Structure 1
Amino acid sequence: MKKITLLLLMGIALFSCEKNKTSDCGEKMCTEEFASVMFKFVDNKGAGAEVKDFNVINQRTGERITANSSIYTSTIKGVFIIVDDNNKLDLSEQGDDLKITGTSVETGQTKSVVIKVSGGKCACHINKISGPEQVAFD
């Protein structure tokens, strides 16, 4: 009886190993780190600017992106988490253009920039491909 139980367990283990090897993404080794992309709005002197009407729109889908980790950030004036690993399924593997927009509380000026960030279901982490890290109000 012990041999039959052992054979059954080995068969189940082999079956489940094969199942993992045939996933759509193949075998990957991912780190435990949590990636995010930050962006900063500054005034004409380079200091952090207070911003209202902040938003991030994925230009491919037209959907608004909100980084879940942004609610846990410290309140550094003008600094925002644009996207994080919780958003990787919202992004394509080739990278999506994300339009970042904000309005200066002080001057009323609105500025927009576009950055490119990749993700996808097989990505371990999001990855910023291109674009500025900050924008300055006049």
Structure 2
Amino acid sequence: MKKIALLLIIGIALLNCKKNKTITDCGDKMCTYEFVSYGIRFVDNKGEGAEVKDFSVINQRTGESLKANSSIYTSTVKGAFIVVDDGNKLQLSENGDDLKITGTSVATNQTKSVVIKMGGGKCACHISKISGPDQVVFD
């Protein structure tokens, strides 16, 4: 009975060691506790915030729809949307993914899309914008 208990303890210890190994796969990193998010703004032809419907973000590599956890806090600024945040980090590749952002103007019913490139991945501390616009302009 003691041998079985000892084998069980050794087995659990070995499993825990294997779990810790995945942490070191990324090397020694110092990450901050900040929470990074990236937003985009939809504006009309005068540069004013535009009311938008049918807002969407699609990862072009995976075809997956993305939704930022912090997106619920943007409803106070007209035309402003959080595209992705650190909660989406694992859904993005380290080299960056093209994200297609689309929205339709409530005033003109015009639909516009832009593509931005965002990086993340399991070893990244935070998401990062690689390229793309900060706003979408309706005609």
- The corresponding residue for 1:38 is 39
> Unpaired runs of 5+ in structure 2?
1-12
Distance 1:22 1:79, change over 3 A: closer
AA partner of residue 26 (structure 1): G
Instruction: Map Cα deviations across residues 88-110 of structure 1 (whole Å, 9 max, x no partner).
Output: 00000000000000000000000
1:24 Cα deviation after fit: 1.1
CA distance in 2, matches of 1:21, 1:80: 34
Native 8 Å contact 2:51 2:78 kept in 1: yes
Instruction: Map Cα deviations across residues 8-44 of structure 1 (whole Å, 9 max, x no partner).
Output: xxxx9xx97xx46972111100011110101000001
- The corresponding residue for 1:136 is 137
- The corresponding residue for 2:113 is 112
> Could you tell me the TM-score, scaled by structure 1's length?
0.84
1:73 Cα deviation after fit: 3.1
Native 8 Å contact 1:21 1:27 kept in 2: no
Aligned residue pairs, count:
123
1:135 Cα deviation after fit: 1.2
AA partner of residue 56 (structure 1): V
CA distance in 2, matches of 1:74, 1:107: 20
Runs of 4+ in 1 over 3 A off after TM superposition: 19-22
In the TM superposition, 1:1-138 aligns within 5 A as 19=20, 23-138=24-139
AA partner of residue 75 (structure 1): T
CA RMSD of aligned residues (A): 1.8
> Could you tell me the TM-score, scaled by structure 2's length?
0.83
Native 8 Å contact 1:58 1:64 kept in 2: yes
Stretch of structure 1 that moved more, 66-75 or 79-88: 66-75
Stretch of structure 1 that moved more, 20-29 or 121-130: 20-29
